[in-house]
Homo-oligomer: A and B are copies of this chain.
Amino acid sequence: MKTLHRLLTLVLVLSLWGLLSSTLTVRPVNSQTVPAILLDGFTPQASVSERSREEQFRAAPDANSAREHLRRLTAEPHVAGTKEDYATAVYVRDQIRSYGIPAELKEYDVLLPYPRQPSIVEIVGRRRERLSVKEVIVPEDPTSSSPKIIPLFNGYSPSGDVTALLVYVNYGLPPDYEALKKLGVDVKGKIVLARYGNSFRGVKAKVAEENGAIGLIIYSDPADDGYMQGDVYPKGPWRPESSAQRGSVQYLFQYPGDPLTPGKPAIPGVARLKIEEATDLTRIPVQPISYGDARRLLEPMRGPVRPRGFQGGLPFAYHVGGTDDLRVHLKTEMDYQIRKIWNVVARIEGNGERDRWVIMGNHRDAWTFGAVDPNSGTTAMLEAARGFGQLLKNGWKPRRTIVLCSWDGEEYGLIGSTEWAEEYADELREKAVAYLNMDAAVSGANFGASSVPSLWKLIRGATRDIRDPKTGKSVYQQWQDRSRESLPEPELTDAQTGSDVNIAEARIGALGSGSDYTPFLQHLGISSLDMGFGGDYGVYHSAYDSFHWMTRFGDPTFAYHVAAAQLWGTVAMRLADADGLPFDYVDYGAQINEFFTESVKTAKRRNLSAAFDEKGMSDAIEEFSREAGRVEKSRQETVLEVGRKRVEANDRYRGAEVRLKRINDALLATERALTDVRGLRGRPWYRHQIYAPGFYTGYAAQPLPDFRQAIEDRSTANAKEALDRIVAAMKRATEVLRKTRD
């Protein structure tokens, strides 16, 4: 069998050579025209062996094994810093070790609050009416009765005890407060009731505080996250009446990680801020409640009928309140301590380029059981590790080092990943190839991804080689088909010709924040991606994000856990083994151009465009794109030359390997060059000039962040300064690419 395999390989390689030689003489190779058997960045012979190795790898992940991992990981609630959390760290470490991969715990001492006791939310009037603020036991779901489930609370809410009138502020974003002002409703000195959605919850806390509110209650409205989406748990996958969404209200758009050690690792010997000095913490008590409880607050509200856009899915007309009819008491009692958290870091040393690291990361801590968020990802990581282990046993050594990270404390504010990234910042800046994140890897069957544009082709390529369990098509095909179905007709076909040839591919999103790629991309400038399989997921951060939910709705056969492991591992292997790194900065240039065009449109509408040098930026983008195109062409040619050199031992290709190394180094350094050590305006921790979470979105990216924010703020001075910095970053990046020239 082995001999036959080698023979076939030889035939294949030889025929590919024929194909490529002809291609090469006619015109530059371009990734679109390379035969499908070839892998971007691999020589023809390496493509063949890589494909064969990948197939071995993808055969390893197993549904039963995945099910068992998830069952073990979700057996108990494992909030960051608890002994149950520690037990999962040990489980992950030991599993990875058992696959033959060295793994260690890595500990940090960070500020973590737990609720000292359940919060109180009550209506104060002639008689007190206390809300339950508790998720009920679902008989079908065995873990839902666990006494260890942490009470409903928001991470980093301070302790507080306030009584005041209540105002309903819709999503709690600036335009909502403006709409209330138009109605003459002021929230100063009042408690505000906001619904989840349209932003990271920390943003709601910040905006409430800025507007003078003294407390914030956040609930899940059934229009956004409940029965209006579909049947509720346990009948369906959506959020039931008593369920509420836990979650951090850290101002992660300021900086993530341990609040007391911004920019530094939370290890012994590092000076800590006092809590009062931390600028990423809210000062007003914040508490999540269910829509069952929210109904009891909303229904008796008086005051004006809600403005347009404020109505939710409870069965009555919402009013905005603020009148004497409703006075509310909110009491949160938190236990703030420096506590230990435990990352697990495993490492498959590279053979050849061991100082180049391909990093896979997923967090492990959960608000409750975390079946979807995050342990579907942990399960995928363990299954991928098992696959790597088998390859290792068969003699494989990746060219580059693969690092597998199981982060702790993500839920509180990306703490484990941030502290680690801060501790090893210099080394990571030098060595990291890319950071590959999976958080909630599986809640359904719909693939989705966000990444820097240089990785788009890599993601698309890998999804072509993974089978979608439900349809039997490739993940790529199913992803495209779904995306096409959701397009309105006019976008489906070209208006001029009526043809449907030129349909854009499914969109790969921009990275904002809300998961562990943030320190890597936005603090250190490491190319990153985040991906997973989504679905109807209405138990986010609730007691029902459980093994039972997963087996009933999310992925009953665990086939998507297997697919997630296959995909993640495949991407990592391609980055670890490629001769020439498959990073395409032409896509990056085009994306920046799109971001810029959009921003300029807004700026023009607001009469701000005279303030900045549009042409300077357009020129910088064009220069960057041109250089990126040249490097891309050179990379592909050089990979082929390296291939020929290996086969023909021809002197002509002598410099090829050196040149390829120079290109590879530049491809890493280009992303780094897009960061600015001065950081973004008012938030120095965020250094990336293209991607950051928005101040008022929190999760969602605000591309060209400072420039966009300046336009939002109608500040011409800031717009000019921001764009100058972006242009400088573009020029640095262009320079890095240019240096690869002979």
- Which residues does A use to contact B, with CB under 8 Å? 222, 227-232, 236, 238, 305, 311, 313-317, 489-490, 493, 495-498, 601, 604-607, 609
Measured CB to CB, the nearest residue on chain B to A311 is: B228
Q: How far is the CA of A606 from the CA of B493 in the complex (A)?
A: 8
Q: CB-CB < 8 A to A311: which residues of B?
A: 228-229
Question: Is A227 in contact with B493, judged by CB distance below 8 angstroms?
Answer: no
20 more A-B contacts (CB under 8 A) besides A229-B311, A236-B317?
Answer: A222-B315, A227-B316, A227-B317, A228-B311, A228-B317, A229-B317, A230-B317, A231-B317, A232-B317, A236-B305, A238-B317, A313-B313, A314-B315, A489-B605, A495-B601, A495-B605, A498-B604, A498-B605, A498-B607, A498-B609
Q: CB-CB < 8 A to A493: which residues of B?
A: 605
In the complex, the count of this chain's copies comes to: 2
Measured CB to CB, the nearest residue on chain B to A610 is: B498
Report 28 cross-chain contacts, Cβ distance below 8 Å, ordered by A residue.
A222-B315, A227-B315, A227-B316, A227-B317, A228-B311, A228-B317, A229-B311, A229-B317, A231-B305, A231-B317, A232-B317, A236-B305, A236-B317, A238-B317, A313-B313, A313-B315, A314-B315, A315-B315, A489-B605, A490-B605, A493-B605, A495-B601, A495-B604, A496-B604, A497-B604, A498-B605, A498-B607, A498-B609
Which secondary structure dominates where chain A touches chain B? loop
Q: How far is the CA of A314 from the CA of B314 in the complex (A)?
A: 8
Q: How far is the CA of A335 from the CA of B563 in the complex (A)?
A: 65
Q: CB-CB < 8 A to A238: which residues of B?
A: 317
Q: How far is the CA of A86 from the CA of B232 in the complex (A)?
A: 55
In whole Å, how far is A314's beta carbon from the nearest beta carbon of chain B? 7
In whole Å, how far is A493's beta carbon from the nearest beta carbon of chain B? 5
In whole Å, how far is A601's beta carbon from the nearest beta carbon of chain B? 6
Q: Tell which of A222, A236, A605 has the most Cβ of chain B within 10 Å.
A: A605
Q: CB-CB < 8 A to A227: which residues of B?
A: 315-317
Q: CB-CB < 8 A to A495: which residues of B?
A: 601, 604-605
Q: CB-CB < 8 A to A607: which residues of B?
A: 498
Q: CB-CB < 8 A to A314: which residues of B?
A: 315
Q: How far is the CA of A433 from the CA of B468 in the complex (A)?
A: 67
In whole Å, how far is A182's beta carbon from the nearest beta carbon of chain B? 10
Q: How far is the CA of A139 from the CA of B155 in the complex (A)?
A: 50
Q: CB-CB < 8 A to A228: which residues of B?
A: 311, 317
Q: How far is the CA of A490 from the CA of B604 in the complex (A)?
A: 10
Nearest 7 CB-CB pairings of A with B: A498-B607, A315-B315, A231-B317, A230-B317, A227-B317, A230-B305, A227-B316
In whole Å, how far is A154's beta carbon from the nearest beta carbon of chain B? 26
In whole Å, how far is A315's beta carbon from the nearest beta carbon of chain B? 4
Q: CB-CB < 8 A to A496: which residues of B?
A: 604
Q: Quick one: which of B305, B313, B498, B609 contacts A606, CB cutoff 8 A?
A: B498
Measured CB to CB, the nearest residue on chain B to A295 is: B315
Q: Tell which of A228, A230, A238, A311 has the most Cβ of chain B within 10 Å.
A: A228
In whole Å, how far is A156's beta carbon from the nearest beta carbon of chain B? 33
Q: CB-CB < 8 A to A315: which residues of B?
A: 222, 227, 313-315
Measured CB to CB, the nearest residue on chain B to A231 is: B317
In whole Å, how far is A437's beta carbon from the nearest beta carbon of chain B? 29
Measured CB to CB, the nearest residue on chain B to A222 is: B315
Q: How far is the CA of A231 from the CA of B301 in the complex (A)?
A: 12
Q: How far is the CA of A532 from the CA of B593 in the complex (A)?
A: 48
Q: How far is the CA of A252 from the CA of B232 in the complex (A)?
A: 42
In whole Å, how far is A444's beta carbon from the nearest beta carbon of chain B? 14
Q: CB-CB < 8 A to A317: which residues of B?
A: 227-232, 236, 238
Q: CB-CB < 8 A to A490: which residues of B?
A: 605
Q: CB-CB < 8 A to A497: which residues of B?
A: 604
Q: CB-CB < 8 A to A229: which residues of B?
A: 311, 317
Measured CB to CB, the nearest residue on chain B to A314 is: B315
Q: How far is the CA of A222 from the CA of B222 in the complex (A)?
A: 15
